[in-house]
Structure 1
């Protein structure tokens, strides 16, 4: 089975790109949101009440949650192709936490890691549009540029460790069709 990891900064539109691409393919992929799996684990332990509290958890607890979620997704990938919608880095008050640390990478063993990007100004505008649905930290364009750079570095580090490929897909405003087509080429 194929396992693809789809990453990008919050608000970049990675879930939207994935939905659009999967509508256009005959290949069956189950999309699994890594954050949802992590939230499920953290809620079961009574550590959080909502998803936006996750990045503020103590790093030791975040690591435990990541590991258990990775193991659960790995078990799912034995039966069907999976697209894991996640973040390659999580910006925390202590610094950047790897979204795909070694123990998660080993469990998932992805074939490809995709990094979805957009301009920082576009991401800021998208975050403002979904402000009623999510509680997101405010970041400047400079901070978002750094975050996207950290995502690229983290994705490539993962690829070095497990031999996967890394694909960067641009998702500018008005470019959803092209971004979905780029993702489709990877899924074939």
Structure 2
């Protein structure tokens, strides 16, 4: 089983996954597509962080990195359930680009997608903190809202094309435990119905 967990940078995906795994009744391998891609980029393109991937590499090189990562994920899925922390929409130097193009979606065919959302103001504040820790860029509130809406829209393609079950969870400030339990409940129900 493959579950994608997605949302804009700073929404709290990774925190919800780390907290939510405690409540999931089944074994899952948690992977970060960004980490997988970064590892490949470091080896092949002398890249130091995720933001450099979108700033320094051509779209073609980014797609090649993603293809390698998709194959890696599918190899692991043969033997394990996977929660894949990823982005469906990425803001590149040229504008918004898909995090998973159709070719990659055809490979992955996830059973479920969890979209984590939050108030753009809260995301903006989290990104301010991340700017120092992870070297992230800061965008304006409208761009955050647009990217969040595009992410939700993108999941409809998976629903219609691959019969993927989608859940949207709002990560409200100070309510990580509630959001994490909703996340786990969705996965427990989904895998229980397979």
- CA displacement at 1:157 relative to structure 2: 1.6
Contact 2:128–2:138, Cα closer than 8 Å, also in 1: no
What is residue 116 of structure 2 aligned with on the other side? Answer: 116
Q: Deviations over 1:52-103 (max 9, x none)?
A: 2112221000111111100100110110100000001000121211111112
- Measure the CA separation in 2 of the matches of 1:88 and 1:51: 15
**Number of residue pairs matched?**
187
What is residue 27 of structure 1 aligned with on the other side? Answer: 26
| Unaligned stretches of 5+ residues in structure 1 | none
- Measure the CA separation in 2 of the matches of 1:161 and 1:42: 30
- Of stretches 129-138 and 111-120 in structure 1, the one that deviates more from structure 2 is 129-138
What is residue 155 of structure 2 aligned with on the other side? Answer: 155
What is residue 42 of structure 1 aligned with on the other side? Answer: 41
Indicate whether 1:133 and 2:133 are aligned: yes
Contact 1:88–1:100, Cα closer than 8 Å, also in 2: yes
What TM-score does the superposition give when structure 2 sets the normalisation length?
A: 0.92
| Unaligned stretches of 5+ residues in structure 2 | 189-194
- Measure the CA separation in 2 of the matches of 1:108 and 1:65: 15
- Of stretches 168-177 and 47-56 in structure 1, the one that deviates more from structure 2 is 47-56
Contact 1:100–1:158, Cα closer than 8 Å, also in 2: no
- Measure the CA separation in 1 of the matches of 2:124 and 2:84: 24
- Measure the CA separation in 2 of the matches of 1:92 and 1:180: 29
Contact 2:131–2:137, Cα closer than 8 Å, also in 1: no
- CA displacement at 1:23 relative to structure 2: 1.4
What TM-score does the superposition give when structure 1 sets the normalisation length?
A: 0.95
Contact 1:89–1:97, Cα closer than 8 Å, also in 2: yes
Contact 2:28–2:82, Cα closer than 8 Å, also in 1: yes
- Secondary structure of 1:5's counterpart equals strand
- Of stretches 55-64 and 76-85 in structure 1, the one that deviates more from structure 2 is 55-64
- Measure the CA separation in 2 of the matches of 1:89 and 1:167: 17
What is residue 184 of structure 1 aligned with on the other side? Answer: 184
- CA displacement at 1:47 relative to structure 2: 4.5
